[in-house]
Amino acid sequence: MIIIDRLCYTSGLRYVNAMEKFVFSMLTLLLCVSSRSVTAAVLVLFVTGILTVGKGGIPLSRYIRLMSIPLVFLFLSTAAVLVNISRTPLDAFAIPFGSFYLTGSVKGILRGAQLILTALASVSCLYFLSLSTPLTDILGVLKKLHVPGLIIELMLLIYRYIFITLHTASAILTSQKSRLGNKNLRTARKAFAAMAGSLFILSVRRSCALYDAMEARCYNGRIQVLKEERPARYSEIFCIAGFEVFLFALIVVLKCKNSI
């Protein structure tokens, strides 16, 4: 999470209009998920990968590592689709298990592969957005889309406070370590409990102090801040629109071909 945040500020796409990036990522995500097509998923994976790594300048090894995080969950969840328990063996593989078979069909395996690819492509759309757009810019987009102010303000405060809380936690942990707080399992458990407890108290105290400081600057219940906008470029809008239309057409053509 912190790595993603740090990377997005160095991305080559950071100063591209946030609305463009948001629309691109969301539309592609939507098309990719609704199509359930392997071809579309591979195309999306390819395009977002090129944009994030090639244009954004995110190191390829980093990107692959980030993409592999959801992979574990995906394999675990698609295992249920791949493997069946049945009395009759299916066509792909069958492991006898008493009078039952641990078995799977070719169709099931293909479906599992398609699920994994679609999910990965969707994740890559989200990575594209979060690796190129700082959260404050995304909040600006949400505001334009008339998301309620309360939700946006909450997101802003939560985002800022994730870092403060992590910082506090790591400071406490360091101080515990320097006094042999986790010498063995028993002391480590105790130290962790103490940290969690004091972290809670510190968070409450900090939020009170923050409220005071905001009041001191005439806070009146609405967080108003300047919008930071980059101009949208026609060439970029054109490319995005072109890609989405192409993707949509591709999906439609594939669907028609399959139904024939």
Q: Is 234 near other proteins (CB under 8 A)?
A: no
C-alpha to C-alpha distances, 208 to 53, 165, 168, nearest whole angstrom? 42, 14, 16
Query: CB neighbours (10 Å) of residue 161?
Result: 15
Among 51, 101, 74, 238, residue whose Cα is nearest residue 43: 51
Q: Is 189 near other proteins (CB under 8 A)?
A: no
Q: Which of 72, 76, 185, 216 binds other proteins (CB under 8 A)?
A: 216
In the complex, least distance from residue 19 CB atom to other proteins, rounded to whole angstroms: 17
Q: Is 229 near other proteins (CB under 8 A)?
A: no
Token reading at 146: 């008339």
Nearer to other proteins, 156 or 237 (CB): 156
Token reading at 18: 């946030």
What is the footprint of other proteins within residues 6-65 (CB under 8 A)?
6, 9
List 93's β-bridge partners, or say none. 104
Q: Is 224 near other proteins (CB under 8 A)?
A: yes
Q: Are 121 and 44 in contact (CB under 8 A)?
A: yes
Q: Which of 65, 144, 160, 233 binds other proteins (CB under 8 A)?
A: 160
Nearer to other proteins, 55 or 206 (CB): 206
In the complex, least distance from residue 207 CB atom to other proteins, rounded to whole angstroms: 9
In the complex, least distance from residue 129 CB atom to other proteins, rounded to whole angstroms: 16
Nearer to other proteins, 61 or 224 (CB): 224
C-alpha to C-alpha distances, 219 to 20, 156, 209, nearest whole angstrom? 32, 15, 13
Residue corresponding to tokens 């994730």 = 162
Q: Which of 72, 76, 218, 260 binds other proteins (CB under 8 A)?
A: 218
In the complex, least distance from residue 141 CB atom to other proteins, rounded to whole angstroms: 14
Q: Is 220 near other proteins (CB under 8 A)?
A: yes
- Three-state SS annotation for 189-238: HHHHHHHHHHHHHHHHHHHHHHHHHHHCCCCCCCCCCCCCCCCCCHHHHH
Q: Is 164 near other proteins (CB under 8 A)?
A: yes
- Please state, in angstroms and rounded to a whole number, the distance separating the CA atoms of residues 65 and 97: 37
Q: Is 113 near other proteins (CB under 8 A)?
A: no
Q: Is 157 near other proteins (CB under 8 A)?
A: yes
Token reading at 156: 């802003």
What is the footprint of other proteins within residues 114-143 (CB under 8 A)?
134-136
State the number of binding residues for other proteins (CB under 8 A).
Answer: 31
Among 119, 143, 141, residue whose Cα is nearest residue 130: 141
The SS3 of residue 129 is helix
Q: Which residues bind other proteins (CB under 8 A)?
A: 5-6, 9, 134-136, 156-157, 159-160, 163-164, 167, 206, 209-210, 212-220, 223-228
